[in-house]
Amino acid sequence: MKKNYVKDVFHMSEGEEITLQGWIHKIYDLGHVNFVRLRDKTGIVQLVAQKEQLAGLRNETCIKVKGVLSKNDKAIDGMEVQVKEIEVLGKVYYDKLPFDINGKKINAALETQLDHRNVSLKKPSVMAVFKIQEEIGECFRKFLKLNNFTEVHTPKILASGTEGGSELFTVNYFDHRAFLAQSPQFYKQMMVGVGFEKVFEVGHAYRAELHNTYRHLNEYVSLDAEMGFIEDENEIMDLEEGFINYLFENLRETCARELKMYNITLPEKVSIPRIPLSEAQQIVFDKYGKRSPKGDLNAEGERLFSKYVKEKYDSDFVYLTKYPLSKRPMYTMPDDEIEGASKSFDLIYKGLEITTGGQRIHDHDMLVEAIKNKGFKAEEFEFYTENFRYGMPPHGGFAIGLERLTMQILGLENIREASLLPRDMKRITP
């Protein structure tokens, strides 16, 4: 078992013995005495060793070190380890690393970094992305459990698509053709209806979209929530806003080091304006002269409108509400007041959509009508509408793309940086 972590060094006193395990981050050869930066999960510390103690060691060799702490004002946080003994735990086998990970940044194209994820992930600033990501998942679960949600695991292998069958990957399932789930939408609604009332799922979703952009992945982690017994979609927006505030509060505490690496200051209080899509489109046109596609904003419109919201409301977030029913899935609840509008929304964060949500239709006959109105055959969705025969409460929900949220919090340029091992149109390795 591991004895100490690097982070412990800075809570210990000069003269104390310590046993550390980790990787050689960098060796500074100063003749007889050598300095070594040792890296573990929790940080980097300086070792002081005799040259002969380092024989055969190279960057990334995995070692166990016994030593004694001593003060040194020039070392990181003022403390270093005088090495008594080094044991090699894991040898290295390379001629040259594909790129260095001990400099200020990695000097290689993103694609090269992704090809060598076994090296690029070693860099502390890259690893920091996934500390943030882990905390997002943790907070999502904690916040929803505090609100009486139940965690569920629903199947990713389906007999039919969620919304008409486009953009689905097919699986050869024994003698059948099956599909990979685009979303747990139908199942999370079903779980509300059978009596879990409020459910969430943290799981993979698959989209066979022919998009190879900075913001698309074909396999991603979806943070899904669905809540029964709601009045309207505002409760869903309240819930997500509550989550964002809970998340930021926690990240400031648990990920201070990681946020600092990326120079990120999270707002103290997030209060998200709710603006109907049609108003947003008008503003984008009036202020920036850009026309939007019918019933939506495009990527440029999302960026411009976010800029406007930031200036006017000092908010990085904005809910676009009341999307036209015609542009939303068949299960979307129509708006009570505005003809043709729906009780659905998108959440835009720093210019990028990270969430789609809304209230769903809960009445069986109304849902069957809505399916027909979309031009689908109701019989083909009986596996779904069947769930609405046994007393479905008013309900709604949302889904957040985990990688997108991570990317936006840290201001990453490409969503692939927010995935340990991204899958896109051209990449299924490593």
Annotated binding-site residues for ATP read 207-209, 215-217, 353, 401-404
Q: How far is the CB of 246 from a second copy (least distance, A)?
A: 17
Which helix or strand (DSSP H or E) is residue 135 part of? helix 124-146
Of 351 and 397, nearer to a second copy (C-beta) is 397
User: Are residues 129 and 406 in contact, defined by beta-carbon separation less than 8 angstroms?
Assistant: yes
**Binding-site member from 324, 329, 351, 394 for a second copy (CB under 8 A):** 394
Nearer Cβ to a second copy (64/290):
64
∠ CA 63-67-71, nearest 5°, is 120
Q: Which of 237, 240, 273, 270 is nearest to 252 (CA)?
A: 270
Site for a second copy in 107-146 (CB under 8 A): 117-119, 121-122, 127, 130-131, 133-134, 137-138, 145
For the bound state, the minimum distance from the C-beta of residue 14 to a second copy, rounded and expressed in Å, comes to 26
Closest distance of CB 190 from a second copy, Å: 6
> Is-contact 332 360, C-beta < 8 A?
yes
Least distance (Å) between residue 306 CB and a second copy: 27
* Residue numbers 33-72 binding a second copy by CB under 8 A: 39-41, 60-62, 64
159 binds a second copy (CB under 8 A): yes
Query: From CA 138, how far away is CA 127, in angstroms rounded?
Result: 17
Count of residues near a second copy by CB under 8 A: 96
**Residue 279 belongs to what H/E stretch?**
helix 277-288
DSSP, res 176:
E
- At which residue do the structure tokens 């698959």 appear? 206
Q: Which of 105, 173, 256, 311 binds a second copy (CB under 8 A)?
A: 173
Contacting residue, 109, 194, 256, 338, with a second copy by CB under 8 A: 194
Tokens 């403390």 found at: 79
Residue type, position 309, single letter: V
- Shortest separation between residue 356's beta carbon and a second copy, angstroms: 21
11 binds a second copy (CB under 8 A): no
What is the CA angle 37-43-45, rounded to 5?
Answer: 35
Closest to a second copy by CB, 46 or 406:
406
